[in-house]
Amino acid sequence: MSKSNEILNSIRTKITLTLEYRGREILNEKVFRLLLLIKERGSIYAASRSLGVPYSRAWEWITKLERNLGEEVIERRRGGSKGGGTKLTSFGRKLLEFYRAKLLEYKLDLSTRDLLLRGGSEPDILYVGSHDPLIEILLSTFSRNDGFSVEFARVGSCSGLLAIMLEEADLSAIHLVDPSTDEYNLPYLKKYGIERNVIVLRGYEREMCLAYHPSLNVSSFEEAITKGYRIVNRNIGSGTRILLDYMLDKIAVKLGKDPNGLRKNLSGYEFEVKTHDDVAKAISSGKADFGLLPRFTALNYGLKCIHLVWERYDLVIPKKKIEKDSIRKFIEFIKSDSVFKLINKTHGYRCDKELGEVIDL
């Protein structure tokens, strides 16, 4: 038998099932397994560990699924006397059974017996929240100095608060501006109904800039829009996305335009990426002309930048996690003089004596 025939005879066919809705993929084998595990274990985090995928990836799958369907598939329950947790909505359970029925219809075998056998050791601190270079530097420094393990899930400020609400995260960080008051962060804790279940650990201020390609000549955010330059956007639920929409609303009022119309006509508005590094890479590579970035990231990628705003960057911790050894020591670490000095000498960041102050609403 020739080598080519031997190879062909050894090939086995594997057929997988993918569901689409209005031309968009919504459910495949991996997402089906994730939903099944959420149903079994009542936790997105536990489900993601069983599947061997990052927690942030699991959130991404769920967010994309709900967005494409226009329906929630998981039900968020606040922590309290019965604790937090996640379960499938009625629609989510129906979707799961619909997929299972299609597997039977097409005689496809999808064994789920091994799904609960994976996992591994859990980190000492599960950070779920906004992507920020400095908070990752601080947590990594703390991890090296004190010997605690840290796992990062960069899912955005709003998803971080959801993870806090579900009592899955040990720590989150947010920078969410309230358009009605210009106040940062605290109004959102009330919006999510978790203000009595968490403490806020005062953090620092971060300078957000209009970052643009060095080949361009831009003098303001308004000019970048009116000249028709291409923006690269952040994902829905991120603090930077909320800040962008807030600023676009102000510009729309100034120009006498409809805010929704301004967004619709803004080239690249639908081009979404997940992290600040992704924004910088898109601008550097020429896939986009400008975007909103921390000054720290813009400078690291050699981009030009124009100051937009100093935003408040705070940490959120569930009260049930405060006495956890790793969290207790991290709170002490944040209050240290060395951290205060590190923040104030880092480009695009600053803090005052409120650093480490505990706010209990």
Separation CA 270–CA 249 (nearest Å): 17
- Does an H or E element contain 27, and which? strand 24-27
Convert the pLDDT of each residue in 83-140 to its tens digit: 457 889 999 999 999 999 999 898 887 665 444 445 567 899 999 999 999 999 999 9
Instruction: Give me the residue label for tokens 């923040």.
Output: 343
Q: Give the pairing type, strands 272-273 and 233-234.
A: parallel
Rg for the chain, CA atoms, rounded: 23
Instruction: Give me the residue label for tokens 């706010």.
Output: 359
**DSSP secondary structure of 239-262:** HHHHHHHHHHHHHHHHHT--HHHH
SS3 64: helix
Structure tokens at 258: 């409809």
Structure tokens at 159: 């998803």
Specify the higher pLDDT residue, 9 or 158.
158
DSSP code at position 184: B
Separation CA 186–CA 194 (nearest Å): 10
Across the range 60-66, mean pLDDT stands at 94
pLDDT reported for residue 82 = 46
pLDDT reported for residue 80 = 44
- Does an H or E element contain 41, and which? helix 29-41
Domains and CATH numbers, the chain: 14-105 (1.10.10.10), 125-348 (3.40.190.290)
Asked if pLDDT for residue 227 goes beyond 70, the answer is yes
pLDDT reported for residue 81 = 41
Convert the pLDDT of each residue in 272-304 to its tens digit: 999 999 999 999 999 999 999 999 999 999 999
First to last CA, the chain: 76
Specify the higher pLDDT residue, 215 or 1.
215
Separation CA 351–CA 152 (nearest Å): 23
Instruction: Give me the residue label for tokens 């009605």.
Output: 180
Q: Which long-range contacts (CB under 8 A, 24 or more apart) does 334-342 make?
A: 334/138, 334/201, 334/203, 339/138, 342/137, 342/138, 342/141
Report in angstroms the alpha-carbon separations of 53 from 60, 122, 153, 258, 337.
11, 13, 11, 41, 37
pLDDT reported for residue 117 = 46
Contact (CB, 8 A) for 189 and 195 = yes
Q: Which region, left, alpha or beta, applies to residue 256 given φ > 0 means left and ψ of -120 to 50 means alpha? A: left
Across the range 50-75, mean pLDDT stands at 93
Confidence of residue 191 (pLDDT cuts 50, 70, 90): very high
Confidence of residue 77 (pLDDT cuts 50, 70, 90): low
How high is the mean pLDDT of the chain?
92
Q: What is the pTM of this model?
A: 0.88
Convert the pLDDT of each residue in 259-275 to its tens digit: 999 999 999 999 999 99
Across the range 218-227, mean pLDDT stands at 95
SS3 147: coil
Lowest-confidence region among 9-13, 63-67, 285-289? 9-13
Residues 135, 139, 142: CA angle, nearest 5 degrees: 140
pLDDT reported for residue 13 = 80
